[in-house]
Structure 1
């Protein structure tokens, strides 16, 4: 046996007569390095496992999103969908009653997802907007409130009505059970919004300023119209504000850091949304995973332009379309220039 077989001892020492000396510093360094590398490996595997869990839960939830025939059949004069990488999604609020049938549809907005996936623009269309609604078996065609389109022809007619108004092709449609979606506020333990106007509806009172709402209280908040100075315009603004607040709290550490809570949240969201059949599950996942939205400031809230209010020939209170303003908004949606539009019209 050679002395070199005992690397932990001094080379000049006689192992039969001297006590072994402590390991060399080089050996200690190697051992410490090994421990550090092992710890890093364990950490990477742990993080990988957590990330894998989150991706698995998201994939599972997205697989539960219902699909239905929500897009209109091809029709004469139908505008083409945008040729930019941007995506325009018509979001329709369609509550489900206890018996499963469609209830009121107070929510109508276009969600414009920018081509670079860095921004989302929520554009509300006031329910009293006086527009041309296509003819069908329930309506001979002509002027009516925009929310009548859903009543007479459900989501496909709402899509056609918005397309004809804006001359912007709608890429996809998402129908939200808005009552169910407000249930997300309970999973989140409430969401905080800045309430512009103090108001009361049913047993709920909403003071001016920051308030935290959830569940039925949140649903009453986004449905209130009377008692607000701008009526339906204020209601639509509340709807957008609560949707943004839901997203904002969903990406906070207290939500993302709680796997069980996160899983319940995305499952509830998935079961509250129905998308059109032209949007396959793979494309839904592509849109979700491709989004680069990390903070509230990347979501912009605005309203389709109007010139004011009026009364129809049959005595209905209506909102009047700002034709020039609508043309400008439409061009921004079509050409993926919403950032420029918002900069020009910050309010």
Structure 2
């Protein structure tokens, strides 16, 4: 029986990279594994992603990746990456592809990860953080300038159907808080009454998310998945990775993901300035843009995203043995409070103050 490592070695040999040196890169919260390759001074990345759900399903329930429309193999990454490159955005080029075994040989976009640059408070060539953030907004606008694609070619006559941010995703994300934050952080299981009341709050808010034209959004558009490519121009200055879970939905999703970065502080002044820049440009560049509807969707999706993360951090702690993610909890709670200031979220704010936020005073 062929081992995984033998399959990888055969893949690299067929691609002409059999003699490359390989160095594993630090893992993330996913099941994917990456190696950095070097061959005669040429760099590349190996993505090793065996197909399958992100984790075993709980008894009587489908795997979270299935109900939340998370990609379970490399096909979505291939299809969406090609779409991004057609728009002039910097998704990594594909040098070799083995869909059956979940192996990709990718362009190496370098080490200038946004998160590292934010910590340094400067770009590699002395660029200000505002310049990097403006490029990030320009990238979102470029993505949103194209119609949302229903299907995207994978190759070989196959297609990837792009999922919508539908009720399956929505409810699955809401349950992450109830399933993990309640027992791990609050020290009690969420009751059926808790679940009913919480979901009803969101049933009332859902129309704010669905308002206006829909777009393809990358879903995890934030500092760990963005690289600065200062030698390129315009929107292409932002290298994109980890976009395989992209969905069709609100224009506000990627904007709030970027400007309320779960892993690095975005001060209120920068968030407000960059959000205003997006709105100013969107009024001129995006058909049917409504600033008030956008701000309501931004606050609603920001709160939904923060609550999902408030469940994700303890899930990574307890289920996956990754306690360091809990360090992001105070920042996530701060972002939640920013979003709850919008008057449309008053009922949700009251429920959270009664049931959740007391533990984060």
Q: TM-score, normalised by structure 2?
A: 0.24
Instruction: Between the two structures, name the one with larger relative contact order (CA 8 Å, sep ≥ 6).
Output: 1
Larger helix share, 1 or 2: 2
Q: TM-score, normalised by structure 1?
A: 0.25
Larger strand share, 1 or 2: 1
> If you compute each CA radius of gyration, which structure gives the higher value, 1 or 2?
1
